[in-house]
């Protein structure tokens, strides 16, 4: 039982890594643009579907997998940039509710675009030899791919932290999150900062989608499922706070695993309940929001 619990927790943690990558993107956009991007789930979904297609395009072997994983987030970032420069940026002077509704419209459109391009069938990607199969851990078998995720997660976290704290553009983005007028006043084009932030956030969403693709069936509806989870994670973590997204994701992943172990029928209720408890105790999130 204990080893089963241990493996369950590890699976939960690896799920949490995907959730973290996706929600950190959402959180970043929320922090800088102060708008929750409802379409973030759609971009995650596009990341997964792109990974599938790129995989096929490159022949389907191990190399194809890695290439697809590497390139999908850029495809997603491209889509995001087009949407942002084409339409979104014209709304920056409007009230935030309008921006949010725009992202909802984007979600509706992208959702159907995926249906048009890829159809309604389920797709799947097989992970390469290196990551297929499982390892014996704690007396139970633990999928190697999940181990891979447990490594990728922290790497992305560190990379993101370095990027936002050590690079010039990262620091500018963080400054714009706190005080966009000041950034504007010192001569930096805030609109381009937003474009960058939005693109980076969506890049992370796409990366999450590409990473998750081998573990689930890639299908329509992925956007709805992930966006609510990412929203909740960002809310309990503290709006715009990356470490908050990490903590929130861990809570989400772990409580879900506990749920699977204790009461499988209501496993999905556990994370929601945890969210409610956190929000009742700390309505604005566990960590300070960026603004």
Partner 1 sequence: MQRGPFNWKTVWPYVAVFAALLFMPLALSRFYVYITAVIMVTALLAMSLNMVVGHGGMYQFHHAAFYGVGAYTFALVLTRTQLPAWVGFVLAPFAAAFTGLIIGWFCVRLNKLYFGMLQISLGSLIWAIAFRWYSLTGGDDGIHGIPIPDAISTISSSYYFILFVLGACIIVMYMIYRSPFGKTLQAIRDNPERCETVGIHVRGHQLFGIVIATFFAGIAGVLFVVVEGSVFPDLLFWVLSLEVFIMCLLGGWFTFAGPVLGAAITVGLRTFVGTYTEYWTLILGVILILLIFFLPEGVMGFIIDKTRGREGAGGLTDAKGRIHQ
Please say whether the beta carbons of 125 and 55 come within 8 A: yes
Give least dist CB 35 to partner 1, A: 9
DSSP classification of residue 92:
T
Give least dist CB 169 to partner 1, A: 26
Phi, psi of 135 (to 5 degrees): -110, 145
By the rule CB under 8 A, 165 interacts with partner 1 = no
Binding residue for partner 1 (CB under 8 A) from 11, 13, 18, 38? 38
Q: 151 or 276: whose CB is closer to partner 1?
A: 276
H helix or E strand, kind and range, residue 182: helix 180-185
By the rule CB under 8 A, 272 interacts with partner 1 = yes
Give least dist CB 109 to partner 1, A: 4
Q: How far apart are the first and last CA of the chain?
A: 44
By the rule CB under 8 A, 107 interacts with partner 1 = yes
Binding residue for partner 1 (CB under 8 A) from 9, 89, 91, 152? 91
Give least dist CB 255 to partner 1, A: 12
Q: Beta-strand (E) ranges in 33-160?
A: 134-137, 140-143
- Reduced to 3 states (helix: H, G, I; strand: E, B; else coil), residue 184 is helix
Q: 36 or 253: whose CB is closer to partner 1?
A: 36
- Reduced to 3 states (helix: H, G, I; strand: E, B; else coil), residue 134 is strand
Distance of CA 247 to the CA centre of its chain: 14
Q: 105 or 132: whose CB is closer to partner 1?
A: 105
By the rule CB under 8 A, 276 interacts with partner 1 = yes
- Reduced to 3 states (helix: H, G, I; strand: E, B; else coil), residue 38 is coil
How many Cβ atoms from other residues are within 10 Å of residue 131's Cβ? 17
Closest CA to 30 of 247, 241, 285, 184: 241
Interface region with partner 1, contact rule CB under 8 A, candidates 51-59, 97-105, 128-136, 247-255: 97-105
Q: 94 or 171: whose CB is closer to partner 1?
A: 94
Q: Rounded to the nearest 5 degrees, what angle is found at the Cα of 132, between the Cα atoms of 128 and 137?
A: 150
Binding residue for partner 1 (CB under 8 A) from 31, 111, 143, 205? 111
Torsion (CA) 144, 146, 148, 150 in degrees, nearest 10: -140
By the rule CB under 8 A, 62 interacts with partner 1 = no
Binding site for partner 1 (CB under 8 A): 34, 36, 38, 87, 90-91, 94-98, 101-102, 104-109, 111-113, 115-116, 224, 228, 231-232, 234-236, 239, 265-266, 268-269, 272-273, 275-276, 279-280, 283-284
């Amino acid at each position: 039982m204990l080893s089963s619990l241990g493996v369950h927790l590890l699976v939960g943690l690896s799920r949490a890594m995907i959730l973290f990558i996706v929600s950190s993107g959402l959180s970043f956009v929320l922090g800088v643009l102060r708008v929750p991007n409802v379409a973030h789930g759609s971009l995650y979904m596009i990341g997964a579907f792109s990974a599938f297609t790129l995989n096929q395009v490159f022949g389907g072997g191990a190399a194809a997998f890695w290439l697809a994983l590497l390139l999908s987030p850029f495809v997603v970032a491209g889509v995001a940039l087009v949407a942002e420069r084409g339409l979104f940026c014209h709304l920056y002077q409007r009230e935030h509710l309008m921006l949010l509704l725009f992202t909802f419209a984007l979600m509706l459109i992208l959702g159907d675009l995926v249906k048009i391009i890829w159809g309604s069938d389920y797709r799947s990607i097989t992970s390469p030899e290196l990551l297929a199969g499982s390892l014996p851990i704690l007396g139970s078998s633990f999928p190697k791919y999940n181990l891979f995720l447990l490594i990728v997660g922290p790497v992305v976290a560190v990379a993101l932290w370095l990027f936002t704290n050590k690079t010039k553009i990262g620091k500018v983005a963080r400054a714009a999150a706190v005080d966009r007028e000041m950034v504007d006043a010192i001569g930096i084009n805030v609109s381009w900062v937003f474009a960058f932030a939005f693109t980076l956030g969506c890049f992370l969403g796409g990366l999450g989608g590409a990473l998750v693709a081998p573990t689930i069936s890639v299908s329509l509806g992925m956007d709805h499922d992930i966006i609510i989870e990412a929203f909740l994670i960002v809310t309990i973590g503290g709006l715009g706070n990356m470490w908050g997204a990490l903590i929130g994701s861990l809570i989400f992943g772990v409580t879900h695993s506990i749920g699977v172990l204790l009461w499988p029928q209501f496993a999905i209720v556990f994370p929601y309940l945890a969210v409610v408890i956190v929000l009742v105790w700390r309505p604005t999130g566990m960590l300070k929001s960026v603004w």
